[in-house]
Amino acid sequence: MKRILILVIAGLVLIGSLSFAGGRQEAASDSTRVLLYLNGTRGDQSFFDSASRGITIAAEQFDIETRIVEGGYDSSAWQPDLAQLAGGGWDILIAGTWQLAEYVQDLAVQYPDTTFIVYDTAVDYSAGDFSNVYSILYSQNEGSFLAGALAGMLTASDLDLSRSGNTVGFIGGMDIPVINDFRVGFEQGARQVNPEVRVLAAYVGNFNDPARGKELALAQIEQGADVIFAAAGESGLGALEAAGEQGVYSIGVDSDQYLLLRDNQPNIAASVVTSMLKNVDNSMLRAIERYLDGTLAIGQAEVLGIREEGVGIARNENFDRIVPQAMVDELDRLIDMIDSGEIVVETAIGE
C-alpha cells in the first residue's frame, strides 16, 4: 500500500544581496547559478518558506550558486524586479504563482539562454515560443481531498476536540481558481466519508492578513465548525490561531505547520492535526536535479500529484497522537484509490 513519506528538512536560507547591474554577471566558478524570486516574503511558514527550503537543500546537495530575493507584497515592484534580475546572468530564474506568469513569458523571449521555472502556475505555451520555460503545477485538489476526508471523519467522531456539529470550515486566501481547487477537493473528500457533513467556506481576500484569517475562522467556529482548513498563506496562520484558542482541530497547508509551530507556539500547534502538503520544496529540488542531469522537461508543464508525491498530508507525532488507526487506514485506502484512478478528484482549474 502506497503511503506518503514526508521528509521535513530544517535549514537556514542564505540570502545574497540583490544586484541590479545590467548585462551578464560571470560567476566565480563554473557552478550553475540559480535565483528564486518570491512575490512575497519568507516567514509565512507555508508556501514561500517551502520554496526557499527547496533552494537551500539544492545548494547543499549540488555544486550550484543560489540566491533568494524577497519581492514583498507590493505587486507594482514585481515586474521591474524581475526585469532587472533577468539580466543578471542566471542559468535558472525561478518565480511562482499566477501573478508572475505573464512577466516570465515576456522575459523568456528576451533571455532565450536563461531557463525559467514557474511553479504553482504555467505559462501559456500556445502564445509563443517558450521552449526555455518549465512549468510546475500541483494537484492541490488531490491533497485537499485527503484533508477533507480526515476533517469529515474527525467532525463525526467523539474525539476530544470534536463538537458533534458535523461541520467543517475552509478558509481561502483569494477567490481564484488555484485556491478554489483546494476547496473543491476538500469538500469532495469530506463528503466521500461523511455525506451529511456541512462545509463552510470564506475568503480572506489576500495572503498576508492573519487578523482577517482569524476573524473568519472564529465566525466558522461560532457556526459549529470543529475542523478548520486554511489555504491562505500567512493569512491562514490567524485561522490556526483561532482554532487553537477555541479548542477545535485545524489543518495547515503547504508545509507541515505543526512542526513549524511546535516549539514557539505549542498551544496552537497542538490542534494542528495535519497539513495538506504542497511539496514545493521537493519540486524545486527535483527540477534543479533534472536540469543538472539534462532530463528536465523544459518547454513543458508538469503536474505533480499524489502519484508523484507532489502533494500529500503530513504525518507526524501530533497526527499519530490524534488520529485513530481506523482513520489512518481509511486515508491509506483513499490514497490508493486516487493513485489507481478509481477516485477522480474534482478540480476548479480551467473554470
Residue 120 to residues 95, 179, 311, 321, 322: CA-CA distances in angstroms? 9, 11, 12, 32, 31
24 vs 59 pLDDT, higher one: 59
Domain 32-138+281-304 identical in fold to domain 140-278+315-340: yes
- The pLDDT confidence band at residue 45, using thresholds 50, 70 and 90, is confident
Q: Is beta strand 92-96 parallel, antiparallel or unpaired with respect to 32-38?
A: parallel
Q: Give the architecture (CATH level 2) of 140-278+315-340.
A: 3-Layer(aba) Sandwich (3.40)
**For the residues 241-254, what does the mean pLDDT come to?**
97
- The pLDDT confidence band at residue 8, using thresholds 50, 70 and 90, is very low
The amino acid at residue 225 is A
- The pLDDT confidence band at residue 351, using thresholds 50, 70 and 90, is low
CATH top-level class of 32-138+281-304? alpha beta
Q: Can you give the pLDDT at residue 4?
A: 39
Outline where DSSP puts E strands in the chain. Answer: 32-38, 64-70, 92-96, 115-119, 133-138, 167-172, 198-203, 227-231, 249-253, 272-278, 301-304, 311-313
Mean pLDDT score of the chain: 91
CA distance 45 to 79: 25
Task: Give the residue extent of every domain in the chain.
Answer: 32-138+281-304, 140-278+315-340
48 vs 46 pLDDT, higher one: 48
For 278-337, write each residue's pLDDT tens digit. 899 999 999 999 999 999 999 999 999 999 889 999 999 999 999 999 999 999 999 999
| pLDDT-above-70 percentage for the chain | 91
Q: Can you give the pLDDT at residue 46?
A: 77
CA distance 250 to 48: 20
